[in-house]
Structure 1
Amino acid sequence: MPIKKTTISDVAKHAQVSKSTVSQYLNERFEYMREETRKRIEKAIKELNYQPNNVARSLKLKSTATIGVIVANILHSYSTQVIRAIEDTLNENEFSTIICNADDDPEKEKKYIETLLARQVDGLIVFPTSGNQELYKRLIDSNFPIVFVDRYVSDLNADAVMLDNEKAIHLAVEHLLTNGYEDIAVLTTSLENAVVPRLERIQGYRSAMDRFKLPIREDYIKSMDLSVMKDGIAELFQLEKPPQAIVSGNDLTLMEFLKYAAEHNVKIGTDVGLVTIDEVPYASVHNPPLTTIAQPTFEMGEKAVELLLHKFDSIKKNDPKIYRFDPSIIARKSSEKAGAQL
């Protein structure tokens, strides 16, 4: 025999109030409700184990208490760490999360945006690809709540949470110089799609070399697809004057460099110094342990949620801005050099 599901009528009868009063309680309309009435309804809900119909409520309130998160590439350690912070913070605020991975594909990203909008999510937190500018513009112009993370979309007036990418590269270059390295190369993934962090990190490399009065060698700058990254690294070490040290632009380029070093018996910390942007889970246990430029991932995720929720609560809208977070260096053996004057 099927178990009879508790209804709003059962709660009303148990609490000795009308159905409309229970409905007001469920929709958090407490302005004209006595404290004693609220407590009776709350007690009735607990005693009867009443489960509200959230789908029906969302239709009435025009809210699903759900946020869509679209990440450009979930393989990045940074992305997974920030997403965890976003999900935790949204859960604390009683929002559910739908997470989508765009694989750096604007078409896939567009499909996910349309799917999430069809599911009536209350807002979007997006690590954007380089496409879909017009779609984002329409959303922003219609006051749909949206916050960008890690990147911003050019010519759009929207909140974005990002690392201070130039400062990150400056920290890496300065640290290598302090440890006795001067011939420093930089690796990033392809600049073809004008992904903002990659562009800023290359610009940061140039400005850092200029700041420390070091020559900028174009053949020390390798920005390419991961599929051919090892070829670019090989070119570096075949130069008449190969670099003494490498700055890796993210965890994926780091992995390509580590593969190359292992295959060609390049000893990190002995033959070449290494600093990478993004703290990776294996950094402290790698041999040698890897010096990293860490991003404050949890704080960045919290800030993205804070900005999004503010869009729901705020009567007076604040002007959107880019919020930059400071990197920090975690110095380990991969960037040390024998005989360096520290």
Structure 2
Amino acid sequence: MKNITIADVAKHANVSKSTVSQFLNKRYDYMSEKTRKKIEETIKELNFQPNIVARSLKQKSTFTVGVVVANILHTFSTHIIRAVEDFFHEHDFQIIVCNADDQPEKEKKYIEMLRAKQVDGIIIFPTGGNLDLYEQMKEDQFPIVFMDRTIEHLGIDTVMLDNELASKLAIDEFVKNGYSRIAIVTTSIIRNISPRVERIRGYRSALQSHGIEVRESYIKTVDAHQIAGALDELFAQPLPPLAILAGNDIVLIEVLKYMKENNLQIPGDAAVIGIDEVPFASFYTPSITTIAQPTREMAKSAVERLLQRIKKEEHEELSPMIQRFAPAIIVRSSCLQG
């Protein structure tokens, strides 16, 4: 079967090859509606399939970007991926999603694979364990944007939450409802993963602003499978906490599971607030107060910045930016007294 080419489409539609090319690239400015319709009908009639490889070579772009997620199990990650795909689709870009499972070795393999496939750029939720690789990409002027996590000394564009404010909103809500014995539980801070470190810093600062003593025994940073043990330690203290700030959605799930398995009442035995909105928060009993991230706005910012990096001219200078977005508290029943 003969491969149908742009020349065949042009001849059949009685237009020039450049006009067909403009149609395929959605440049309709100087094209009549009649010509557009004619080309469209010819493409269907001849069953023409554009040569993506040839287009990539000609335009020096694969129109593909990578998204390397640190842990796809986070609700935030899946919401970001969904929004990123929407925004890139508007620009006729496709995305390849890779899940690093918070493993630097896996992240490294995925980044190397994506570069071998000649993607135009990558959005990375960095594990923090591949500093040399990040620096090499920056030196190569390869377009990258960090999402959710920053490594400040590298000077790489980053889109993330104002994590200290997220903790402050939660602590303020607890204090407003009469709680002062407040614990925070986050997943491991090995490799200084910035959101977790910043949320703990925000927790400390917010307690101090309310004149509440910071109890080191109320701060737990462990891997997900160790959260139940950390909660055992919290509730075994002579003065156990009466409120728990779950540092992310995975921690929140583990806290709720622990409370149910141990017949502990929310908020009777301990009030709970989770950072990251989760689908079940509004219909869980009691409904869970959460700190929500503006995922679509964050995704849009990351996409726009990566496209700027991809399309910038060689002489053009783009200073690295760290853009932080404000969270919002969604007040429900899990920390209301009485």
Shorter-chain TM-score: which interval? over 0.9
**Are 1:277 and 2:286 an aligned pair?**
no
User: 1:290-309 counterparts in 2 under 5 A?
Assistant: 290-309=288-307
The DSSP-based 3-state class of the residue aligned with 1:177 is helix
Normalising by structure 1, report the TM-score: 0.92
Closer, same or farther: CA 262–43 of 1 in aligned 2, 3 Å = same
Closer, same or farther: CA 296–10 of 1 in aligned 2, 3 Å = same
The DSSP-based 3-state class of the residue aligned with 2:244 is strand
Closer, same or farther: CA 28–281 of 1 in aligned 2, 3 Å = closer
User: 1:37-116 counterparts in 2 under 5 A?
Assistant: 40=35, 43-49=38-44, 50-116=48-114
Cα distance in 2 between the residues matched to 1:34 and 1:330: 46
> Which amino acid counterpart does residue 310 of structure 2 have in structure 1?
F
Cα distance in 1 between the residues matched to 2:131 and 2:37: 47
Normalising by structure 2, report the TM-score: 0.93
Cα distance in 1 between the residues matched to 2:191 and 2:31: 61
Alignment match, 2:189: 191
Closer, same or farther: CA 223–8 of 1 in aligned 2, 3 Å = same
Further displaced range: 147-156 or 40-49? 40-49
Alignment match, 1:247: 245
The DSSP-based 3-state class of the residue aligned with 1:181 is coil
Closer, same or farther: CA 39–51 of 1 in aligned 2, 3 Å = farther
- The Cα shift of 1:38 comes to 10
> Which amino acid counterpart does residue 43 of structure 1 have in structure 2?
K
Contact 1:11 1:22 in 2 (8 A): no
The DSSP-based 3-state class of the residue aligned with 1:68 is strand
Contact 2:9 2:42 in 1 (8 A): no
Identity %: 50
Alignment match, 2:121: 123
Closer, same or farther: CA 293–29 of 1 in aligned 2, 3 Å = closer
Closer, same or farther: CA 297–171 of 1 in aligned 2, 3 Å = same
Residue ranges of structure 2 left out of the alignment (5+ in a row): none
Alignment match, 1:287: 285
The DSSP-based 3-state class of the residue aligned with 1:333 is coil
**Are 1:145 and 2:143 an aligned pair?**
yes
Contact 1:249 1:277 in 2 (8 A): yes
- The Cα shift of 1:47 comes to 2.1
Once the two structures are superposed, residues 313-341 of structure 1 have per-residue CA deviations (whole angstroms, 9 ceiling, x without a partner) of 34433311110000100011101011xxx
Alignment match, 1:267: 265
Once the two structures are superposed, residues 51-94 of structure 1 have per-residue CA deviations (whole angstroms, 9 ceiling, x without a partner) of 21112211222211001000000000111111111011111111
- The Cα shift of 1:312 comes to 2.9
Alignment match, 2:133: 135
> Which amino acid counterpart does residue 263 of structure 1 have in structure 2?
E
The DSSP-based 3-state class of the residue aligned with 1:69 is strand
Cα distance in 2 between the residues matched to 1:86 and 1:232: 35
Further displaced range: 226-235 or 95-104? 226-235
The DSSP-based 3-state class of the residue aligned with 2:265 is coil
Closer, same or farther: CA 212–23 of 1 in aligned 2, 3 Å = same
> Which amino acid counterpart does residue 318 of structure 1 have in structure 2?
L
Cα distance in 2 between the residues matched to 1:70 and 1:226: 21
Runs of 4+ off more than 6 Å: none
Cα distance in 2 between the residues matched to 1:24 and 1:216: 65
Closer, same or farther: CA 219–125 of 1 in aligned 2, 3 Å = same
Contact 1:190 1:225 in 2 (8 A): yes
The DSSP-based 3-state class of the residue aligned with 1:268 is coil
> Which amino acid counterpart does residue 266 of structure 2 have in structure 1?
I
Contact 2:184 2:246 in 1 (8 A): yes
Alignment match, 1:336: 336
Alignment match, 2:22: 25
> Which amino acid counterpart does residue 286 of structure 2 have in structure 1?
P
Contact 2:9 2:39 in 1 (8 A): yes
Cα distance in 1 between the residues matched to 2:109 and 2:138: 18
Contact 1:8 1:22 in 2 (8 A): no
> Which amino acid counterpart does residue 80 of structure 1 have in structure 2?
T
Alignment match, 2:327: 327
Residue ranges of structure 1 left out of the alignment (5+ in a row): none
The DSSP-based 3-state class of the residue aligned with 2:67 is strand
